[in-house]
Amino acid sequence: MENRTYIEKDIKDICKEDFNVSVTGVIVNKGTNSFILDDKTGQIQVITEDNNFELNTFVRVFARVVPLEEGIQLHSIAVQDLSKIDKFLYNKIKRLLHD
């Protein structure tokens, strides 16, 4: 049975031992089947089939962690558009809930 629990993490805290994570951030670069996500703690490459988002879009990614020889990348299960949400308020509430 597949594990569908996603642990919310900052990019800097994701490690090779993680399995499913969710991260929020801004798309800062795009490729054909991937984008780079920045959450102000770091950047990570997200491999995705859902690459219809524009640069600078605020998104939440639900993904599987894939260890590489040098670092990690995420393979997205779903990408959620959060562009209508106030990023500052969202991050403030996120910090309050996790501290």
Model confidence pLDDT, tens digit, residues 50-74:
788 999 999 999 999 999 988 899 9
Q: Is residue 2 part of a domain?
A: no
Q: Is residue 50 part of a domain?
A: yes
Instruction: Give the domain range for residue 34.
Output: 7-98
Q: Is residue 1 part of a domain?
A: no
Question: Which CATH number is 66's domain given?
Answer: 2.40.50.140
User: Would you give the DSSP letter of residue 93?
Assistant: H
Bigger pLDDT: 34 vs 91: 34
Q: Is residue 71 part of a domain?
A: yes
Q: Is residue 62 part of a domain?
A: yes
Average pLDDT of the chain, as a whole number = 90
Q: Is residue 32 part of a domain?
A: yes
For the chain, how many structural domains are there in total?
Answer: 1
* Other Cβ atoms within 10 Å of 59 Cβ, number: 22
Task: Record the pTM.
Answer: 0.88
Q: Which two tokens stand for residue 29?
A: 């670069």
